[in-house]
């Protein structure tokens, strides 16, 4: 008898467009959310959007509370949970980049409450995903959590954010190429469950973004629109898969290691993009498709070298040779790259000089 079952959890309202921040309250009406909202944000997004979101809820009679988080960590998730309990919050509203949204998502999941996601940067594909990505000691967890019930992505806000945040979002999407290759490899070699739909959606999202590169330009609000649609689509692929596999392979493991080796040096999206050039080389060799990945990143204005990331060459080599240890996720890194192989891959691809 066929007894398999799975849940695909998706947001209910995804509102994207110019000035839609003002529709945040409308986006949650009809979702049966009770009680006070707790706005979870980080320092810069607070001034850009979170104070305004709190004002909108206050004007609508919701009596919002706010907590400002500093870093992605389990201690910060706990601080948000404690604050939600103290304030007797009924639902959470994550406002900012990937970090406050991840923290709010995981806290909401633990509290059994709904999350509303309000991105202020098109910098990552966790905007709608049912995942939270948090470092802990020598490892980096990809934690299942309910996805947001509503997403409010104001393209005016996203377009005014520093351009590098948008190119980071583009690179997070381009990394889907190698993430899917890693997932297929793990399926073939380790019998890891693979979803054709999620894999195809993730890959198609990257292809469509690269196909639109000519319209993704600094100062064009349409760019924010194109990129955020891709980020939503990639997040949906993760929800279909029930894992971050469609959007996170060896290139993400390398980026997570870079975060440990040299914290705060470069954006998540930029790191996964550069690492994707390296892992594509490992997948398809010197004459393979790594040049297409590099060219796609270049065409979107994202970094392709260690120097552009601000990382020492040695950081890249260390991250590449240790990344296989941080998670039980089979990838092209296998049981680990030798130092010589990592040097060769990073040199041939021009990541290090």
Ligand X SMILES: O=C(CO)COP(=O)(O)O
Where does residue 60 rank: exposed (0-12), middle (13-18), buried (19+ CB within 10 A)?
Answer: middle
The answer to whether the beta carbons of residues 325 and 244 sit under 8 Å apart is: no
**Nearer residue to ligand NAI within complex by CB, 248 or 349:** 248
Check the annotation: does 252 bind a ligand.
yes
Could you tell me how many residues of this chain bind ligand X (CB under 6 A)? 10
Q: CB count, 10 Å around CB of 91?
A: 22
Tell me how far, at minimum, the Cβ of 133 lies from ligand X, in Å: 3
Q: Which of 133, 168, 189 is nearest to 333 (CA)?
A: 189
Can you tell me the distance from the alpha carbon of 301 to that of 319, in angstroms, rounded to the nearest whole number? 23
Structure-token pair, residue 199? 């894999």
Which range, of 125-133, 182-190, 193-201, 320-328, touches ligand NAI by CB under 6 A?
Answer: 125-133
Q: Does 124 bind ligand NAI (CB under 6 A)?
A: yes
Q: Does 102 bind ligand NAI (CB under 6 A)?
A: yes
What dihedral do alpha carbons 198, 204, 210, 213 form, nearest 10°? -100
Residue 244: HSE in the Cβ half-sphere, 13 Å Cα cutoff: 30
Contacts to ligand NAI from residues 280-319, by CB under 6 A: none
Q: Which of 348, 253, 350, 341 is nearest to 309 (CA)?
A: 350
**Nearer residue to ligand NAI within complex by CB, 227 or 345:** 227
Check the annotation: does 146 bind a ligand.
no
For the window 167-186, what string marks contact with ligand X as x by the rule CB under 6 A? -----x--------------
Q: Which of 268, 331, 232, 37 is nearest to 133 (CA)?
A: 268
| Residue 319 binding target from ligand X, Zn ion, ligand NAI, none, CB below 5 to 8 Å by type | none
When binding is defined by CB under 6 A, the residue of 21, 28, 38, 48 that contacts ligand NAI is 48
Tell me how far, at minimum, the Cβ of 202 lies from ligand X, in Å: 10
Can you tell me the distance from the alpha carbon of 159 to that of 327, in angstroms, rounded to the nearest whole number? 35
Check the annotation: does 18 bind a ligand.
no
Stated as kind and residue range, the H or E segment containing 188 is: helix 176-190
Q: Does 132 bind ligand NAI (CB under 6 A)?
A: yes
Q: Does 142 bind ligand X (CB under 6 A)?
A: yes
Tell me how far, at minimum, the Cβ of 65 lies from ligand X, in Å: 28
Q: Is the dihedral of CA 40, 45, 51, 56 positive or negative?
A: negative
Residue 150: HSE in the Cβ half-sphere, 13 Å Cα cutoff: 24
When binding is defined by CB under 6 A, the residue of 247, 250, 296, 346 that contacts ligand X is 247
Q: CB count, 10 Å around CB of 308?
A: 14
Q: What residues form the annotated binding site for glycerol?
A: 125, 172, 252, 268
Interface residues toward ligand NAI, by CB under 6 A? 42, 44-45, 48, 72, 96-100, 102, 120-121, 123-126, 129, 131-133, 157, 161-162, 165, 168, 172, 238, 244, 267-268
Interface residues toward ligand X, by CB under 6 A? 125, 131, 133, 140, 142, 172, 244, 247-248, 252
Q: What residues form the annotated binding site?
A: 98-102, 120-123, 125, 129, 172, 252, 256, 268
Q: What residues form the annotated binding site for NAD(+)?
A: 98-102, 120-123, 129
Q: What residues form the annotated binding site for Zn(2+)?
A: 172, 252, 268
């Amino acid at each position: 008898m066929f007894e398999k079952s799975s849940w695909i959890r998706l947001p209910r309202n995804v509102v994207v467009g110019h000035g839609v921040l003002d529709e945040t309250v409308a986006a949650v009406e009809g979702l049966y959310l009770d009680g006070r909202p707790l706005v979870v944000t980080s320092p810069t997004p607070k001034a850009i959007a979170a104070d305004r979101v709190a004002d909108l809820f206050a004007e609508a009679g919701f009596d919002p509370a706010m907590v400002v988080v500093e870093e992605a960590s389990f201690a910060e998730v706990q601080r948000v949970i404690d604050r939600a309990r103290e304030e007797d919050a009924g639902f959470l509203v994550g406002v900012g980049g990937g970090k406050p949204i991840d923290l709010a998502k995981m806290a909401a999941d633990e509290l059994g409450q709904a999350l509303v996601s309000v991105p202020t940067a098109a910098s990552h594909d966790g905007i709608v995903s049912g995942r939270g990505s948090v470092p802990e000691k020598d490892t980096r967890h990809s934690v299942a959590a309910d996805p947001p019930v509503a997403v409010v992505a104001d393209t005016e806000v996203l377009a005014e954010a520093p351009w590098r945040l948008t190119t980071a979002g583009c690179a997070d999407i381009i990394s889907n190429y190698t993430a899917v290759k890693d997932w297929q490899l793990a399926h073939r070699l380790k019998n890891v469950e693979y979803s054709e739909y999620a894999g195809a959606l993730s890959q198609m999202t990257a292809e469509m973004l690269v196909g639109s590169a000519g319209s993704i330009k600094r100062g064009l609000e349409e760019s924010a629109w194109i990129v955020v649609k891709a980020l939503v689509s990639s997040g949906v692929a993760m929800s279909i898969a029930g894992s971050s596999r469609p959007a996170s392979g060896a290139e993400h493991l390398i980026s997570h290691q870079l975060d440990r080796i040299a914290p705060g040096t470069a954006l998540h999206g930029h790191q996964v993009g550069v690492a994707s050039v390296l892992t594509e080389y490992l997948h398809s060799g010197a004459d393979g498709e790594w040049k297409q990945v590099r060219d796609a990143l270049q065409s979107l204005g994202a970094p392709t070298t260690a120097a552009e990331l601000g990382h020492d060459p040695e950081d890249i080599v260390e991250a590449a040779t240790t990344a296989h240890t941080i998670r039980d996720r089979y990838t092209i890194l296998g049981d680990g790259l030798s130092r010589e192989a990592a040097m060769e891959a990073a040199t041939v691809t021009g990541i290090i000089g």
